[in-house]
Every structure is written in structure tokens, then in C-alpha cells.
Structure 1
Amino acid sequence: MTEQLFTLPVLKQLSPAISECQIADLPMLAISHAKGRAAITLQGAHLLAWQPTGEKPVIWLSSETPFQPGVAIRGGVPVCWPWFGPAGQPPHGFARLLPWQVTAHSEDDQGVNLTLTLKDSEETRKLWPHAFTLHAHFTFGDQCSIELESHGDFETTSALHAYFEIGDIAKIKVEGLGQPHIDKVAGGITAQQQGALTFDGQTDRIYTAPEAESRIVDPVFDRTISVTHKHNSDVVSWNPGEKNSVSMKDMADDGYKTMVCVETAAVTASQISTSAEPARLAMIIAVK
């Protein structure tokens, strides 16, 4: 799926490294640089792909996802804001479903910097009665960093709901998640984990005392994906398992085998934005 993103016709050259394209019904930015390549839809400031030069794709994207206005994209890094999960409607908030604007970009030998911005509107105020300015800052170089910066006076829950490309869900492990977690598959009970997380069926957990770095150890791809979390209270890990993968229209029947979510999140402790100080949530992704 990643390769298709970089063969789309260029509609406009925004800079030497950034091109404006169209994927189905959605505007998209393709980033091509000596350090690697990436793709982002303007809907949701949604990272679809990041691939450092010489490496396999790092971000997983469903081959079955529709690219339609107002429809959630399956895969990539959805921005869940101003709420996470079913805390409101639509689920995971409205930020991932609305068009954002490119407000800054720059590039040098070390990589590409890009900022997309979403502001409140009549549409958002019907769903959530607050004035806001939300920035998504991206840096693509040897590493990929994503930072949300929210301005206004309000309280939110949020997540960078990252889907990672893996060789085989049955063979990976995720380290650094910590022990205490909320197991949503088991009805929301609080449990303690011993050692690294491995996967045998549906998994949906909120880790409430995670380390600063999560590590996806992948023996099939012979690599470790490092995810450094900042300003978070939690880390979420999710895989739908075989049964749910088959039932999901926007995922191939075997899609669960090649993806795992490790999400930087503020779920159990909400974040407060004030006029004096914005709230932030960030992740840094690297391949080791």
C-alpha cells in the first residue's frame, strides 16, 4: 500500500521535498527527501506512511480503507482529539475527520518540518462548545516526530493512534509498557502484566504506568521500532485479532497479522489547555 502513495500524480509542488497530490477523494501531501519519505492527508493531519531511506515501511495502512471525506482512515496515525474512544460522538473525536490547513513548512539536509492546523468552526462547536487552535507538528528525518499542540481553555483526552507495520503479530513483542493496565477485552478490569506484551487473539489495553519508550521487537523484519512518548499519561496497545479483522469492512481478513497499535495517549488523566499554556502530546518514532 505504501508504494501506491508515492506514484500519485503531482498536482502542485509546495517545496522541493513536498508535493500536493490526491488519493481518491482526499488531498494528500507526499514528502520525498534524502532521509526518507512520508505521506499525510489534509483530512485529519493523518500520517499515512513514513519510511526512512534503506528501511521497510514503518507505518501500517489498510489496503481496504476508503479515502473519502468524513470517513475515518484505517491505519496510519489517526489524531484522536478532543476525546479518546467512545467518550463522545464521533468516536475518537472530530479532529481526524476534518480538513486541516498547512500553516508552516521547512526543510534542510536533516529532514522536513511540517505544521498543519485545525481551528474551531460552527461545525465543531455543535459537537464540542469550545474555541481552539490545534497544531500538528511533524518532523521527518532519521526519526519521525509528531506533536499535538492545543490552544484554548478546555480539558481533553487524546491519542496519537499509531499503527505499525510488522512481520507477524504472533512473533513480535512490545517492551516498555509497564505492568498495570486496563484490559478492555476482559471487560475493563485492571490487571498486572509480567514481562513484554505478546499477542494471541484480540488485544486492547491501556497501560497506565508506561515507560517513556516502547519497543516493538520484530524478529521477522529483524528490527526494533522505538516509540518515545511525551506528555502522556498512558500507552495503548491494540490488535483486533482474526475474528474482528474479518468483520471489519476497512481491513483485509488477514490484516491483523501485519499491524500493531502502540499509541501515545492521555486517557486516564485528561489534559488541560489554558490561555497561558497549551497542552501537548508527542511521539518520536525510530528504527533500530
Structure 2
Amino acid sequence: MIATIFTLPEQEILTPSLTRRQMGELDILVVNHPAVRAAVALQGAHLLAWKPQEQEEVLWLSDKTAFARGKAIRGGVPLCWPWFGPAAQEGLPAHGFVRNLPWKLDAYQETDEGVELTLTLKSSDDTLRQWPHAFTLYARFSLAKTCNIALEAHGDFETTCALHSYFNVGNINDVKVSGLGKRYVDKVAGGEGELADGVQTFPDRTDRIYLAPEARSLIHDARLHRVIEVAHRHHSNVVGWNPGPALSASMGDMPDDGYQTFVCVETAAINTPQRARPQAPSCLSVTLRVVE
């Protein structure tokens, strides 16, 4: 799926390395720079792909995801906001509504190092019916040999949120994640647990909210012979997730064996909501780097 994005016809040339293209019903910003290759969907301000040149793909994107208006994209880095997980009110989407809405490209710049993008989303009558708060969101991307994503929220409210990052791995059985801290809430088995050796593996369905994570997590991928560094900022939690074989097979937008080739390590604020106030926006951000 990621390879297909870079073969799409160019609809608009914004800079020598930045073009607008269309995948299904969605507008896609495509970066093909000497230092980096990346793609961002305007729906959801959704990072679909990022990889420094000469590297394997860093992010995972489902071959079965629909590029349809109003339908969530499976993979990449969805922005979960203004709530994480199930909605409190029946009929509202899980993980909030901003990942299903069209954002506006507000600013862009190409440099020798890569491309920088700023996308914006403002509250509307529709969002106010779902969540009664006025807001302005900025999603800022710095796409170079490192990748920085920042979600900045202006208004007066509390939110839970996450940068729900899907990482491409050789095989989930050969993946270990460190830097998560010990204590976690187990969303599969229920209750709390403790990671005795400080390393998370994924033998089956795994869904854990870590309660005191370190400032960076490391994804050790023995099959692809690399380490991905995930540096979290303004977070209270990190989520480690993989659906395992049974759930993967039940999901219409994921191949039955999709669980084998990704792991989610998510920068999040869940048990401690973020507070935005006038003149003091909230922010959640992450920096990704492939460790040589």
C-alpha cells in the first residue's frame, strides 16, 4: 500500500519535493526528498509513511484500509483526539473524531534536510454536536532523517489523546520494546500488572497502557536488524498494542496475518488528561529515529 502512494499521479506540485496526489477519495501530500520519503493524508492530518532514504519503511499501513471520506485509516499515525478509546456517548467514534475529518494545509517549507508541514482543524457545528468545546488544532510535521509530530490544541478544555503509531517490523515474534516503565493497565486480561524485566514482548493479543513510562521507548527488531527510537514528550502514558491472530482476522481493514508485521507504541495522555487553557495550549509530541 505504501509503495502505491508514491506511484500516484501528481495533482499539484508545491515544492520540488512536495506534491499533492489523490488516493481513493482522499488528498495525500507526498514527500520525495533526497533525505526522506513520506506521505500525509489531509483527512485526519494522518502520517501514512515516513522513512529516511536507504532505510526500510518505518511505519506500517494496512493493504486493506479504505481511503474513503469519513472512514478511519488503519496504520501510519492516527491522531486520537479529544478522547482515547471508546466514546462516553453511544454513537460517537472510538478515539475521537479528528482522524475522520478533513484538515487544511496551512503552511509548508522545504529545506536541505527535509520538509515541514503544518495542518489545521477548527471546531464546527458538527464537532460541537459531538463534543461541546470550541478548538483550533495544529498538527506539525518535520519530515527528515528524524520525524517529529506535534499535536497542539488551543481552547479551554480537558482531553485524552494519543499519537497511535504503527511501526513496521519483520515479525512480531522477534520484537521487544523497552523503555515502557513497569506498571501497566492490562486492557485484555483486566486489572494492573508489572513488567518484571522491563521488556515487552507480544506472544498474543496485547493491549497495555503503561502508567509511568520513560521519556523514550526502543523497538528492538531482530528480523530487520534495527532499533526504532520513539521519544515521547508531554505524555503521561505509552500504549503497547498488537491485536494478535484472532482479532486481526476479525478486522475488516486488516489482513488476517497483519498482526505479524507491526507493533503499536503510542505516545499518549490517558490517565492524566491534558488541559488546554486560553493562551496556554496543550501539546502532545513524538520524535522518531532509526538507530543505526
Judge same fold: TM > 0.5, yes or no. yes
CA contact (8 A) 2:181 2:210 kept: yes
Q: Distance in 2 between matches of 1:96 and 1:198?
A: 28
Correspondence list, 1:195-274, <5 A:
195=197, 196-274=199-277
Which SS does the other structure have where 1:4 is aligned?
Answer: helix
- 1:39 and 2:39 aligned: yes
Please give the secondary structure, in 2, of the residue aligned with 1:200: coil
The Cα shift of 1:87 comes to 3.4
Question: Which amino acid is 2:121 matched to?
Answer: L
Q: CA deviation at 1:185?
A: 0.4
Question: What's the offset of the Cα at 1:90?
Answer: 1.1
Name the counterpart of 2:194: 192
Aligned to 1:4: 4
- What is the RMSD of the two structures over their aligned residues, measured on CA atoms? 0.7
Matched letter for residue 153 of structure 2: S
SS in 1 for 2:173: coil
**CA deviation vs aligned residue, 1:72-108 (integer Å, no higher than 9, x gap):** 1110100000000013421100010000000011111
* 2:182 is the counterpart of 1:179: yes
Deviation at 1:70, TM superposition (A): 0.7
The total of aligned residue pairs comes to: 287
CA distance in 2, matches of 1:216, 1:178: 14
* TM-score (ref. length: structure 2): 0.97
Secondary structure of the corresponding residue to residue 265 of structure 1 = strand
The question of 1:79 aligning with 2:84 is answered no
**Unpaired segments of 5 or more residues in structure 2?**
none
Q: 1:57-72 maps to which residues of 2 (within 5 A)?
A: 57-72=57-72
Partner of 1:130: 133
Alpha-carbon separation, structure 2, partners of 1:67 and 1:276? 36
Identity over aligned residues, as a percent? 53
Q: Does 1:140 align with 2:143?
A: yes
- Preserved contact between residue 240 and residue 265 of structure 2 (Cα < 8 Å): yes
Deviation of the 1:35 alpha carbon: 1.0
Per-residue CA deviation, residues 226-259 of structure 1 (Å, 9 max, x unaligned), is 0000000000010000001111110001000000
Cα deviation digits, residues 201-231 of structure 1 (max 9, x gap): 1000000100101000001100000000000
| Poorly superposed stretches of 4+, deviation over 4 Å | none
2:156 is the counterpart of 1:153: yes
In terms of mean alpha carbon deviation, does 246-255 or 87-96 score higher?
87-96
Greater mean deviation of Cα atoms: 106-115 or 92-101: 106-115
Name the aligned partner's letter for residue 194 of structure 2: Q
Contact 2:51 2:145 in 1 (8 A): no
Query: What TM-score results when the alignment is normalised by the length of structure 1?
Result: 0.99
1:245-278 deviation digits (Å, cap 9, x = unpaired):
1111100010000000000000000000011200
* SS class of match (1:123): helix
Alignment match, 1:15: 15
Distance (whole Å) between structure 2 residues aligned to residue 87 and residue 236 of structure 1:
18
Shift in Å, 1:111: 1.4
1:96-132 Cα deviation digits (max 9, x unpaired) = 0000000011111111110000000011001011110
Q: Distance in 2 between matches of 1:96 and 1:15?
A: 26
